[in-house]
Structure 1
Amino acid sequence: MTATMIESDDGARLRTWTVGSVSSRRFPVVMVHGGPGVPDYLAPVAGIIDDLCLVHRYDQRGTGGSSWQGEHTIARHVHDLVLLLDAWGHDRVVLLGHSFGTNMAGYFLLAHPERVAGLIQIAGPFLDPWREADQAAQRARRSDEQQARLEELDAIESRTDAEEIEYLTLAWFTDHADRTRAWDWALASARTLRPVNYAMNTQLNAAKRADPLESRVDELRECLPPGAVIIGGAGDSRPADALRRLATRLGCEAVIVPNAGHHPWLDAPDRFGAALRAAVVRQPPRAGDPLDVRDGPDEVHARTVR
């Protein structure tokens, strides 16, 4: 693995990682993590496919080892990704987004379709209506005591480190389908994905509401590359039907992994790994190689991995 700091045009330094090997057949995969406001956590996902292609990850501006400066806008983050592609020397890549990263990948595709050779979206973006179902599922997974404690911690203006870890664990453990391991997974994330950039979270979520992808689905469909895939977990608190509806409107495949949550590589590593590797293989190849995609961009397939 190669770790590199890449400087943006405004002086902000972005921490990046590269694994895998250059393939004459496949475009590099660039992973866009979610949050917003937490550092990259997609190393385990990169490890599933790094024998197939080159894989890049990065801490978004304002998170982890990257510079924590400036106002956060969709346009700024899209521009950062353009500069990263240039620094890596890639004219076109396959974008892989997770959670809020799927929204960022969508905005990037709208702004720069000529740079996107393929698209793999994991656990998003979700097509409204989905928030009420998500909130209801999360509440059902918390006890009354846990819900009360979450609300108590949320009301604290400045939490201690221990309180912050508890707060994030209570907020995140409902993401997982495996209820026996959900708390431990969330606790591990709460301990490592800190500090959370709450200003970034507020600014980017507001920007997403101001320019919702839901209102631009027709535009997305027009520039969607062949072989685009949405992968979701049947056990995510966010409803899988929202992903299926989006796939239908985009004309792409939706793969729903049983017994998997918002981080399907944790809940169902074998099934998710098989789905992800298949998605990478079906992305359009570099010019001159035969297209290894069975389904055209206008054919819709929603299936469950067995």
Structure 2
Amino acid sequence: MAEITRAETVLTEDGVSLWAVRTGEGCPVVFCHGGPGLWDTLEDVAGPLSGVAAVHRWDQRGCGRSQRTGPYSMARTMADLDAVRRHFGLSDMVLLGHSWGAQLALRYTLDHPEHVRGLIYVAGTGIDPGAPWRDEYGRNLRARLGGDLERWSELNDKERTDAEDRELSVLQWTADFADHGQDHEDRGQDRDQDHGQDHSWAREQAERMATPWLGVNFACNAAINAEGRRTWGAPELHARCAASDVPVLIVDGAEDIRPRWAVDSLERALPRVSRVVLEGAGHLPWTEDPDGFQAAVRAFLTA
């Protein structure tokens, strides 16, 4: 019988309501989803961990099922994460952050090590200043989009309806899955002959992420990304990582269009770190190598 989950409302100290849900039993793990401006799409990660982890998922402020109210900043989102921790009565926890959520989880770990027993840093983009990975990411995104590039560019450069926001997001998320090649032909899907990508399978995964469609909060995205461009990668961040005593697992998909070398500086800075690179996987490695991803996470949680 499938586990019945009941959504809960976390109330922040400034009166904003956040959507949250708890599933499974075991080591307390709090997920931090990507974005900024998106919502939790990590249910597929939570399910297989139910035997070893009590997983707590939530939608960040202004996103998804949470109240669409600012302000939007790293500090405010960290305070909201702490409100989630307190709501569920956790004295400490493991944090699992994906993409932008990995940056959030890292920053919370540095600020509140007394509440973090471990950090699982999935598909993040490191701690270098100035986000040097962005140019390569842009080139990789356009190459991976292949025949969808023209439509993506058209949508990206115009004012959009809500339906067009969804279409743009699905196209962009399709590129987050790896170029599968011959080993995925048994899916019975047609592959783009120019780029080798199993577009129909990747599109199916992106459509799942966008269903139900909860709407991107572009104001949240713009505010937090602008803050990150001003502040991320300062020498103090490297020093604080080097001084951290929290164990960290970095998990990468080798075919992520965000270059994996961007994470090297974080790996070098952390004194208690292990890293698993999953070949043939992209930005959502649990989707394309579920066995490898779950083995790495379970080993970390049970160590």
Other-structure match for 2:165: 164
Counterpart of 2:153 in structure 1 is 151
Q: Deviations for 1:56-108, whole angstroms, at most 9, x for unmatched residues?
A: 11011111111101220111111111122111111111111000001111221
Aligned partners of 2:212, 2:141: CA distance in 1, in Å?
22
Preserved contact between residue 34 and residue 98 of structure 2 (Cα < 8 Å): yes
Matches within 5 A, 1:179-258: 179-180=197-198, 181-213=201-233, 215=235, 216-226=237-247, 228-251=248-271, 252-258=273-279
CA contact (8 A) 1:165 1:190 kept: yes
The structural deviation recorded for 1:185 is 1.3
Query: 1:131 is matched with which residue: 125, 130, 134?
Result: 134
Alpha-carbon deviation of 1:224?
4.0
Are the structure 2 counterparts of residues 184 and 74 from structure 1 closer, same or farther at C-alpha, using a change threshold of 3 Å?
Answer: same
Q: 1:110 to 1:160 in 2, by over 3 A?
A: closer
Q: Secondary structure at the match of 2:152?
A: helix
Does the Cα contact within 8 Å between 2:165 and 2:216 map onto a contact in 1? no
TM-score by length of 2: 0.85
Note the C-alpha offset of 1:240. 2.0
Aligned equivalents of 1:214 and 1:45: distance in 2?
A: 32
Contact map agreement 1:12 1:69 (CA 8 A) in 2: yes
Q: 1:70 to 1:160 in 2, by over 3 A?
A: closer
Residue 18 (1) aligns with residue 22 (2): yes
Gaps of 5+ in 1: 283-306
Q: Deviation at 1:2?
A: 3.5
Written as runs of structure 1 = structure 2, the 5 A alignment for 1:1-306 is 1-21=5-25, 23=26, 26=27, 28-128=28-128, 129-143=132-146, 145-161=147-163, 163-177=164-178, 178=180, 179-180=197-198, 181-213=201-233, 215=235, 216-226=237-247, 228-251=248-271, 252-282=273-303
Alpha-carbon deviation of 1:213? 4.2
SS of 1:133's partner is helix
Q: Distance in 1 between matches of 2:38 and 2:213?
A: 6
Deviations 1:226-252 (A, max 9, x none): 3x1100001111122222342122231
Look up the equivalent residue of 1:158 and give its one-letter code. Answer: R
How many residues were matched structurally?
275
Determine what percentage of the aligned residue pairs are the same residue. 37
Root-mean-square deviation (CA, aligned residues, Å) is: 1.7
Return the alpha-carbon distance in structure 1 between the equivalents of residues 240 and 265 of structure 2. Answer: 16
Gaps in structure 2 of 5+ consecutive residues: 181-196
* 4+ residue runs over 6 A deviation: none
- Distance in 1 between residues matched to 2:234 and 2:279, nearest whole Å: 26
Task: Decide whether aligned partners of structure 1 residues 270 and 254 sit closer, same or farther in structure 2, where only a CA change above 3 A counts.
Answer: same
Q: Deviations over 1:139-167 (max 9, x none)?
A: 21122x52222121112213251x22321
For 1:176 and 1:217, the matched residues in 2 are separated by 30
Q: Report deviation, 1:212.
A: 0.3
Letter aligned with residue 279 of structure 2: P
- Give the Å deviation of 1:194: 2.8
| Bigger mean CA deviation after superposition, 269-278 or 189-198 | 189-198
